[in-house]
Structure 1
Amino acid sequence: MKEKKSVTRLDSTYMNQYDAHVERQGRKKKRLFRRLALFALVMLLVTSTLAVYHVQQRMVYAEKEAEYEQLQEEMATLEETESELREEVELLQQEEYVLEIARSNYFFSKEGEIIFKIPNQEPSY
């Protein structure tokens, strides 16, 4: 077993000053640790807030991108419909085409012509 050495402490001004110095150093370390902990907490909050904001913005961007794609497809179909309608307008400006539509849909006939309606079904025989 080890022998316990007992040394008596001298009560002097130097020792009192040294004890005060050691105590001040301990308090400085505690304050430093507290400041670092507070700084780390603030940085954690800021970082997590920025991360959440970034994720939200990515989600909004993905939604907008999907909406943009859908609107592009819709615009393409509308442009196709527009071109078909423009062609039909050009055709409707021709008198022959209008007469053909009138003859087929409304049984408009030429003078002296007789129109017979034939059903679109195939004969049953």
Structure 2
Amino acid sequence: MNEKKSVTRLDSTYMDQYDAHVERQGRKKKRLLRRLALFALLTLIVTSSLAIYHVQQRMVYAEKKEEYEQLQEEMGSLKESEENLREEIELLNEEEYVLEIARSNYFFSKEGEIIFKLPNEEPSY
């Protein structure tokens, strides 16, 4: 039942050409597979490097955004401080305000006036 079929090979130019054709097709297939593997490897390298670059840029963006928000808050407080200082400058340009500060902080008095320093503390009784 297991009969082996044996076919004798004829040595002819056709068979030589056919063998050469089969061999060329095998080499072409092997080169194609190598090129596809190289292309896949290059695609993987480029894709992974772009992904890494994207992640790094997102991290830098997040840091810069946080720094920007912090600087915005600082700028708001500095503007408020600037406004307070401008108001103080306007008040210091008024003579009455300067005299009031001098009288309260440095005990300057008007002519014939006596200043009594009262303690700021509440009595303990």
Q: TM-score range by the shorter chain?
A: over 0.9
Q: Where do 5+ consecutive residues of structure 2 fail to align?
A: none
* 1:25 counterpart residue number: 25
Q: Which amino acid aligns with 1:10?
A: L
- Give the CA deviation at 1:24: 0.3
Runs (4 or more) in structure 1 with deviation over 4 Å come to none
Matches for 1:37-116 after TM superposition, within 5 Å: 37-116=37-116
What is the root-mean-square deviation of aligned Cα atoms in Å? Answer: 1.0
Higher mean alpha-carbon deviation, 113-122 vs 79-88, is at 113-122
How far does the alpha carbon of each residue in 1:70-104 deviate from its partner, in whole angstroms, 9 at most, with x for none? Answer: 00000000000000000000000000000111111
- Structure 1: how far apart are the matches of 2:28 and 2:124? 107
Q: What residue identity is the alignment partner of 2:23? A: E
Report deviation, 1:110: 0.9
Instruction: Measure, in 2, the Cα distance between the counterparts of 1:70 and 1:109.
Output: 47
Give the deviation of 1:17 after TM superposition.
0.6
Superposition deviation, residue 3 in structure 1: 2.6
Aligned length in residues:
125
Map of 1:3-14 to 2, 5 A cutoff?
3-14=3-14
Distance in 1, matches of 2:2 and 2:51, equals 58
Q: Secondary structure at the match of 1:109?
A: coil
- Aligned residues with identical type, % of pairs: 83
Structure 1 unaligned blocks of 5 or more: none
Q: Secondary structure in 2 aligned to 1:120? A: coil
- Separation in 2 of the partners of 1:2 and 1:77? 98
Question: What SS is found at the alignment partner of 1:117?
Answer: coil
Amino acid across the alignment from 1:91: L
